[in-house]
Structure 1
C-alpha cells in the first residue's frame, strides 16, 4: 500500500530564531534592521537561516502590514502591448512614470484581453491604487478595480456610475472645433473615420445608429462633428461614417469605402491621430496629395503627429499632464480628484487646406 505524501512545512522566521538561540524579535531585526544587531548575532542567525533554507521575510506581508506599497497599477482590458504600441498610451505612461520617478514609486502594468486573466491580474496586483485606461469604452477594468476598494482614476469621462475620479477633455467641443476648422477652408464633402461605437464592431454606420452608440466618448466626438456640419448646412445623412478599430486593416477598409463613392470626400475627420496618420499613408500610396486632394485632421496630439508628412493638424489633449495628475491622485489620496476636465487645443499644421 502506497504511503501518503507528507506536506513540506514552510520554514518560518520563528524556526530560524529557535535554531540560532535568539528571540523572534532579534531574528526579525537581522533581516529588517541589521544595523542594530551585533555582528556575531547577525552571523549566527544568517548561518541558521542558510542551514534551514530560509530566504527572508515575505516582502508582500511586510508591505501589506505597512498599509502602503508605494506602487501604482495601470490597468486596461487590452494586450500588454497596448502600453507600448498605442501613441496615446505611451505619452500618458510617460507622465505617470515622471511622477513615479520623482517619488520613488513603483509601477505595475495590469493588462489582459482575456476577462478572467484581467480579473486575476487586478485582484492580485500589489499596488496602492489603479489608473484605468477605458479603451473605447470597455468598463471591465473599472468594475474590477472598484471591487478592490482601492483608489482609482479613470482616463475617460464616459464612466459615470457613482463618485468616480476621472480625467479627460470635452470630446464633443473638441470634435466640433475640428470640423469648424475644415469648414473654414470651404470644404463641403466630408468623411468621418470613427473609433468603435460598440464593442467589436466595425464598418459603415448611419448617423442615426451611431448616435445610439455604447461608447459615449466616440458618440460625443461624432456629435461634435455633426453639430458643426449641420450648422454649415450639410446634411448629416449625406456624410459617410466608418467605424474603425483604430488599426491599419480597418482604417484601410474605411478609406476604400469612402473613396469608391461617386463623390469622395475632400476632408476627413479622424477620431484619433493614429487613424489620421494611417489615412495619410494610404492616400499618398494611391497618388492623392494631402492636403492638395484631401485635407485631414486628427484628435489627441501625440508626438508622432508633428513628425508625419505632412505634419498633422489635430485637436491636442494635454496627455502627459493627464498621466501626471492621475499618478498624483493615487499616491496622495488626500489630493483625490473627482472630475477634472482639462483644456484641449487646436494645433494647426499643414495637413488641411482649401479644396481644389
Structure 2
C-alpha cells in the first residue's frame, strides 16, 4: 500500500492541504477541534509525515530524535557522547527526550510523530514496550535501538555481547585458580541477564567445574538485597573465593558485603562486575569488570540511523571493528549489530587463597574498618541496569 501524503490526509479529513500543513507545523492559527480532527485521521491511518521535509519547510535543519530512559542512568552519558560524535558531523541536530520506566512513552512517540521535526529516532531501551516504536518504524520513520537490555525486536539495533562478556570474566577467575565462583544475578526478566547467566554456566562447564546452585544469588540489582544475600553466602563454611556480579553497582554491594563480614577484597574474595561505568576505576580496591562499549554503541547506532535515512541499509557501519551484524527480521531493516565486550582487570581480583580466612570480627566495625568500595563516589550510586 503506498504511503499516504498530506493531500490524502486533507481529503480524508475534509479539509484543505494548507490546513493540514498548519497542524503539522503546530500553528496557533488552527483551532483545537480542527487540530484534533486531523490528528485523529493521522492516527487511524498510521500516517507519519515526512519529518525532514517538514523541518526544511520551516527553514530548520532536520533533527534526529533520541529517547533515553533518564539522564541519571549510568550508561546514558557515554551513549550520548558516541551519538553526538557522529550526528554533530552530519547535517542533523539532536532533540533529546527522556522517558523513565514509570511513564508510558506511547504519548511521547505520538508527539514526536505529529511534530514532524525528526528525520529518524534513536532509542536507548528500558522497560517500555517496543510496540509503538515498531509501528512507527513500519510507517516510515526510521528507528534504531541502542539495545542495552538485549530485548528481542524486529527493529534495527546495536547491542553488546553479554554472553561472551561473562565467559571472559569466568575464564579470568579460573586462570587465577578459583573453582568456587558465585554469581549474583540481576533482573532475570531481562534478556541481557539471561545471557550473562548462560555465559557463567557455560564457562564453568568448559573449565570442568560443576555448577553449584547454592552459589547463585538472586540480587535483582537491589544493593540492600545483594548485601544481605551475599553476607549469607559468605557465612557458609564452603563459601566461594570469587563472585561475579551482573552489573557494577551490584558489584559495589558485593564488595561492601565482603567488608561487612570482616573479609577482604581481593585477598579473601575476588569480585568482578559488568559494565565498567566511570566510578568503577575509583572503588576501593578498583573494580575488575567487563566493559560494555557504550560510546561505540552510540556511534554504531547513529551511523546505522543515518544510513537508513539515506536509504542504505547494507551491513555494519564502517569503522565498527569487531562488530557482528545479523540480518533484520523485517525487509528493509539493517539488522542487529553485536558489539564485543572486553575485560578490564584491576585490583579486585587475585589468585584464589590457599585456605579460607577466618575473620576477626563480623561485621567489620570500628576505627580500622576498611573503606566502603564507593567511598568518595557520592551517596547515590545508581542500581539501574
Give the TM-score normalised by structure 1: 0.68
Report how many residues are paired.
Answer: 273
C-alpha displacement of 1:105: 0.9
C-alpha displacement of 1:344: 1.9
- 1:128 aligns to 2:119 (yes or no): yes
Distance 2:237 2:192 in 1: 31
* Aligned counterpart, 2:195: 220
Q: 2:133 aligns with which of 130, 145, 162?
A: 145
Q: Secondary structure, in 3 states, of the residue corresponding to 1:196?
A: coil
* Aligned counterpart, 2:342: 345
C-alpha displacement of 1:265: 1.9
Distance 1:256 1:284 in 2: 9
C-alpha displacement of 1:107: 2.6
Q: 2:183 aligns with which of 175, 188, 192?
A: 192
In structure 2, do the counterparts of structure 1 residues 246 and 94 end up closer, same or farther at CA, with 3 Å as the change threshold?
farther
Moved more, 265-274 or 278-287: 278-287
Distance 1:317 1:61 in 2: 37
Q: Once the two structures are superposed, what CA deviation does each residue of 1:255-278 show, in whole Å capped at 9, x if it has no partner?
A: 234224342221011111222133
* Aligned counterpart, 1:301: 276
In structure 2, do the counterparts of structure 1 residues 239 and 75 end up closer, same or farther at CA, with 3 Å as the change threshold?
farther
C-alpha displacement of 1:286: 4.2
Instruction: Please say which structure displays the higher CA radius of gyration.
Output: 1
In structure 2, do the counterparts of structure 1 residues 75 and 257 end up closer, same or farther at CA, with 3 Å as the change threshold?
farther
Moved more, 175-184 or 329-338: 329-338
Aligned-residue RMSD, C-alpha:
3.0
* Moved segments of 4+, more than 4 Å: 59-62, 64-69
Q: Secondary structure, in 3 states, of the residue corresponding to 2:119?
A: coil
C-alpha displacement of 1:119: 1.1
* Aligned counterpart, 1:39: none
**Superposition map of 1:209-288 within 5 A:** 215-288=190-263
Q: Once the two structures are superposed, what CA deviation does each residue of 1:14-61 show, in whole Å capped at 9, x if it has no partner?
A: 9xxxxxxxxxxxxxxxxxxxxxxxxxxxxxxxxxxxxxxxxxxxx999
Q: Secondary structure, in 3 states, of the residue corresponding to 1:175?
A: helix
Distance 1:231 1:61 in 2: 55
Q: Secondary structure, in 3 states, of the residue corresponding to 1:236?
A: coil
Distance 1:178 1:112 in 2: 31
C-alpha displacement of 1:112: 3.1
Residues 170, 341 of structure 1: 8 Å contact kept? yes
- 1:106 aligns to 2:98 (yes or no): no
* Aligned counterpart, 1:75: 67
Q: Secondary structure, in 3 states, of the residue corresponding to 1:290?
A: coil
C-alpha displacement of 1:182: 0.6
* Aligned counterpart, 1:176: 167
Q: Secondary structure, in 3 states, of the residue corresponding to 1:353?
A: coil
In structure 2, do the counterparts of structure 1 residues 114 and 306 end up closer, same or farther at CA, with 3 Å as the change threshold?
closer
Structure number with higher helix proportion: 1
In structure 2, do the counterparts of structure 1 residues 75 and 216 end up closer, same or farther at CA, with 3 Å as the change threshold?
same
Q: 1:96 aligns with which of 83, 99, 111?
A: 83
C-alpha displacement of 1:74: 3.0
C-alpha displacement of 1:233: 3.2
C-alpha displacement of 1:239: 4.3
Distance 1:345 1:70 in 2: 36
In structure 2, do the counterparts of structure 1 residues 261 and 122 end up closer, same or farther at CA, with 3 Å as the change threshold?
farther
Residues 69, 127 of structure 1: 8 Å contact kept? no
Residues 189, 239 of structure 1: 8 Å contact kept? no
* Aligned counterpart, 2:55: 63
Distance 1:237 1:352 in 2: 21
Moved more, 172-181 or 339-348: 339-348
Moved more, 327-336 or 175-184: 327-336
In structure 2, do the counterparts of structure 1 residues 324 and 291 end up closer, same or farther at CA, with 3 Å as the change threshold?
same
Q: Once the two structures are superposed, what CA deviation does each residue of 1:304-340 show, in whole Å capped at 9, x if it has no partner?
A: 2222221221222221111112123334423544221
Distance 1:68 1:144 in 2: 27
Residues 155, 168 of structure 1: 8 Å contact kept? yes
